[in-house]
Amino acid sequence: MKFDESGEHRKLQLQELEKICNEEYENSRIYKEKTKTFHDKMISRKEFEVGQKVLLYLSHLCLFLGKLRSRWIPYCVVTNVFPHGAIVIQSLESSKLFKVNCHRLKHYYDGFQEEGVEEVPLKDPPYME
């Protein structure tokens, strides 16, 4: 009779262990969902329009890049925007068309116009002796 009791006890222990494992899987799934929603909320989406100037990121320069060499190719113009982030750009220097992901692009600003900027001359503080 002692074998039957120990067998029942062992079955209960295995059921408890399986229950704990299932709870941990569920907690892990919930944590991953929360982390993903937080990450997706922090991502800034870029909107590109046809005719807009952009900078193209050169990913193949990462290994042998000089210290002051830029990783961005300037002077590209957006010619077509596809859904799901694919964009066709045209280089103004070589007039070639490239189809790239929007994550490799950055908005190009020609220059900011300063309006109503006032210059304030700074004076040295008086010395206390």
CATH number at 77 reads 2.30.30
57 and 37 together in one domain? no
What stretches in the chain show pLDDT beneath 50? none
Domain count, the chain: 2
Residue 129 counted as domain residue: no
Q: Which two structure tokens, joined as six digits, stand for 29?
A: 């799934």
57 and 92 together in one domain? yes
Phi and psi at residue 55, in whole multiples of 5°?
-110, 140
61 and 19 together in one domain? no
pLDDT at position 59: 72
31 and 65 together in one domain? no
66 and 98 together in one domain? yes
Residue 98 counted as domain residue: yes
Q: Which two structure tokens, joined as six digits, stand for 94?
A: 């070589």
Question: Does the pTM exceed 0.75?
Answer: no
Residue 94 counted as domain residue: yes
Distance (Å, rounded) from C-alpha 52 to C-alpha 106?
11
Task: Specify whether the CB–CB gap between 84 and 48 falls below 8 A.
Answer: no
34 and 59 together in one domain? no
64 and 99 together in one domain? yes
Task: Specify whether the CB–CB gap between 99 and 87 falls below 8 A.
Answer: yes
Task: Name every residue whose Cβ is closer than 8 Å to that of residue 102 and which is 6 or more positions away in sequence.
Answer: 46, 48, 85, 86, 87
pLDDT at position 128: 67
57 and 96 together in one domain? yes
For the four alpha carbons of 94, 97, 105 and 35, in that order, the dihedral sign comes to negative
pLDDT at position 21: 94
**pLDDT digits 0-9 by tens, 85-109:** 899 999 888 888 989 988 889 888 8
Residue 33 counted as domain residue: yes
pLDDT at position 129: 61
86 and 57 together in one domain? yes
Domain range for 25: 1-43
Residue 115 counted as domain residue: no
